Amino acid sequence: MSYKKVKLNHISLKALEVGHIYKYPIFYKNKDSIFTKLIDTNSKFSHSTEEIITSKKIKDVFVLIQDHKQYELDTQKYLSELIKNDNVSIVKKFEIVQDMTADAMNNLFHGEINTEKIQRVNVLLDDTIDLILHETSAVKAMLDVTSYDYYTYTHSVNVSLYALGFGAYLHLSKDKLHALGKAAILHDIGKKDIPNEIVNKNGRLTNEEFSIMKNHPSNAVNILKALGEDNKLLQNIVEQHHEKLDGTGYPFGLKNNEINIYAQIVAISDIFDALTTKRSYKEALTSFEALEIMKNEMSHELNKDLLKEFITFMSDHRVKKKK
């Protein structure tokens, strides 16, 4: 049976547990873009289901909106058990955490932003930080699962992963890591108030379009305040992530020490990911190429000491983003 007019939420395919019986149906889109049941209510997600996913090359799965909360409870329980399981590789753990976080951010960017969605991101951030702090090879594994294709939500996850990995390298406390990671993952939520044709434009923005785009850091802070997020550190990082040390950034044209140090970390992470991810109008640069550009062409914009540490951090973890 196919479903043409149903309201569904996208979910993480990697977070579905083989052997688990789901109390709700799970859907995919067939070749005609019609939602079709992958498994029925009270059915087991089995190895044969995995074979169907492989044979049909299914990459996106969905649940009915009214079932999404139960899906989150199911997958969070699965993730908690997975993280504690010493027999599961750290790479596998991060693949699932990253996919679940990307899915949470996808749902955040599509539809209303509310405290429940922000809390979902908080929980997944805590899981990520716990892995970083308790697994010796976690940062390398985490950076290896960053996405190579650019979407606003995957970009947000990538920037958060780079910022968290770098923050751990700098020996930040768990509280500071959480504030940094949360600011990094939410740094672009203000783009929800920017017209899609500007956000998704293939190519350079006009002066008028760029003037509109420059509102997104302040838009993000307004969204956070409306949701009761009153942490000033979080607000400052989000609002200042496009400021540049030479005063040519936005929205305030701050200089040097006027810019929060954690916002400077997010700025470096943001630029690195933008350069090393593929866009419709450009190929991805390698890590080496991106860092060379940042070092040689952006030294007047970025904190030189932080950038030097970031380059050492990336070298230590041998991150090789692909073209």
Query: What does the pLDDT look like over 8-62, one tens digit per residue?
Result: 899 999 999 999 999 999 999 888 888 999 999 999 999 999 999 999 999 899 9
Contact indicator for 70, 23 with CB cutoff of 8 Å:
yes
Percent of the chain whose predicted confidence (pLDDT) is above 70: 94
Instruction: Determine phi and psi for 259, rounding to 5 degrees.
Output: -95, 130
Residue 1 in this model has a pLDDT that exceeds 50 = no
Domain span including residue 173: 89-316
Task: State the pTM of this model.
Answer: 0.89
Q: Provide the token pair at 154.
A: 């995957």
Domain boundary among 19, 41, 69: 69
74 occurs within a structural domain: no
**Segment 272-294 mean pLDDT:** 86
Distance in angstroms (rounded) separating the CA atoms of residues 143 and 139: 6
Identify the pLDDT of residue 146.
77
286 occurs within a structural domain: yes
Percent of the chain whose predicted confidence (pLDDT) is above 90: 69
Q: Provide the token pair at 226.
A: 């409306």
Query: What does the pLDDT look like over 79-135, one tens digit per residue?
Result: 999 998 989 999 899 889 988 998 899 888 887 889 999 999 999 999 999 999 888
pLDDT bin (cut points 50, 70, 90) of residue 200 is: confident
Identify the pLDDT of residue 122.
92
Regarding whether 63 and 149 lie in a shared domain, the answer is: no
Give me the CATH number covering residue 254. 1.10.3210.10
Contact indicator for 97, 78 with CB cutoff of 8 Å:
no
Cis? peptide before 195, omega within 30° of 0: no
Residue for token pair 């090789």: 320
Nearest to 160 by CA among 224, 238, 221, 215: 238
Sequence-ordered list of residues with C-beta below 8 angstroms from that of 120, at least 6 positions apart, any chain: 72, 104
Arithmetic mean of pLDDT over the chain: 90
Regarding whether 206 and 160 lie in a shared domain, the answer is: yes
Burial class (CB in 10 A: 0-12, 13-18, 19+), 265: buried
Helix then strand then coil, in percent of the chain rounded to 5, is: 60, 10, 35
Residue 251 in this model has a pLDDT that exceeds 90 = yes
pLDDT bin (cut points 50, 70, 90) of residue 4 is: low
Regarding whether 102 and 149 lie in a shared domain, the answer is: yes
Query: What does the pLDDT look like over 165-191, one tens digit per residue?
Result: 999 999 999 999 999 999 999 999 999
Question: What total of structural domains would you count in the chain?
Answer: 2
Regarding whether 141 and 280 lie in a shared domain, the answer is: yes
DSSP state of 260: -
Identify the pLDDT of residue 153.
80
Amino acid at 89: S
80 occurs within a structural domain: no
Domain boundary among 69, 103, 118: 69
Regarding whether 109 and 21 lie in a shared domain, the answer is: no
Identify the pLDDT of residue 284.
84
Identify the pLDDT of residue 318.
56
Identify the pLDDT of residue 203.
80
**Segment 62-73 mean pLDDT:** 93
Query: What does the pLDDT look like over 202-242, one tens digit per residue?
Result: 888 999 999 999 999 999 999 999 999 999 999 999 999 99
Identify the pLDDT of residue 281.
66
Sequence-ordered list of residues with C-beta below 8 angstroms from that of 173, at least 6 positions apart, any chain: none
pLDDT bin (cut points 50, 70, 90) of residue 267 is: very high
Dihedral angle over CA of 155, 256, 233, 171, nearest 10: 80
